Amino acid sequence: MDRFYCNDLTSSIAILDVEESHHLLRVHRKRVGEVVHLFDGKGTLAQGWVHEVGKNEVLIKLEEITNIHPTSRNVTLAVSPLKSEDRFEWLLEKATEIGITQFLPILCERTESKRFRKERYDKIIMGASKQSLKAFIPQILSPILLKQTFQSQRSPWYFGHCLDTYPTSELKSLTIQFPCTLAIGPEGDFSESEIAWMMEQGGVPVSLGTERLRTETAAIVASTLCLV
């Protein structure tokens, strides 16, 4: 089943924007009268049929609308931007498929890149949401300094690190409290002072196993342990 995005599913006719219209007509080759499935990214799903095709938009006649309640397993993934743009985009795509609710880029002492291309990231998250048939589209927030995050995220905070000098609990053995935040540091890990500070703030240091993982891999493993 293919799913298309429309930000307004409140009336009997839904209007697809230029990009979604192109995708529906040119990529999926839908024609007038064919069945279409839509979502608004905020929990509303709809089924209808192609009613009219215009120059820059497609009109969908809606027949069935369903409202989905948000999951109680709400997870924010706080992760340092990566030096490799491709790896960071891969992370966003896969974590969206797994079910992350929100992305929070965190700027740490060892963060190598402060690049933030929101429009590009939104498209990747949108594509992954459609492909995995999500009812809700995850948000990606603007980058924030690590030490500001506890002011913006009041949920339980679990963070992974690799230093032997600080204790950790196996994430897979914990009973996760939702909503929560998972924090994964940059290439080179969180610094010792950052680890100590997060623990002082009530963060729970966790281990993802015995293997040493790249940042993007660690983020996917942590997300999977919490949600799958």
Asked if pLDDT for residue 149 goes beyond 90, the answer is no
Contact call for residues 116 and 80 (beta carbons, < 8 A): no
Q: What pLDDT does 133 receive?
A: 96
Q: How many domains does the chain have?
A: 2
- Pair (15, 45) in one structural domain: yes
- Pair (60, 117) in one structural domain: no
- Pair (50, 159) in one structural domain: no
Contact call for residues 29 and 5 (beta carbons, < 8 A): no
Q: What pLDDT does 99 receive?
A: 97
Asked if pLDDT for residue 128 goes beyond 90, the answer is yes
User: Judging by beta carbons within 10 Å of its beta carbon (0-12, 13-18, 19+), is residue 11 exposed, middle or buried?
Assistant: exposed
Q: What pLDDT does 155 receive?
A: 82
Asked if pLDDT for residue 150 goes beyond 90, the answer is no
Asked if pLDDT for residue 152 goes beyond 90, the answer is no
Specify the CATH number for the domain of residue 33: 2.40.240.20
Asked if pLDDT for residue 210 goes beyond 90, the answer is no
- Pair (167, 222) in one structural domain: yes
Give the lowest-confidence range in 11-20, 84-93, 148-157, 163-172: 148-157
User: Judging by beta carbons within 10 Å of its beta carbon (0-12, 13-18, 19+), is residue 214 exposed, middle or buried?
Assistant: middle
Q: What is the pLDDT of residues 153-198, one digit of tens each?
A: 678 999 999 988 899 999 999 999 999 999 999 999 999 999 999 9
- Pair (31, 133) in one structural domain: no
- Pair (159, 102) in one structural domain: yes
Domain that holds residue 59: 4-67
Asked if pLDDT for residue 67 goes beyond 90, the answer is yes
Q: What pLDDT does 122 receive?
A: 98
pTM above 0.85, yes or no: yes
- Pair (104, 184) in one structural domain: yes
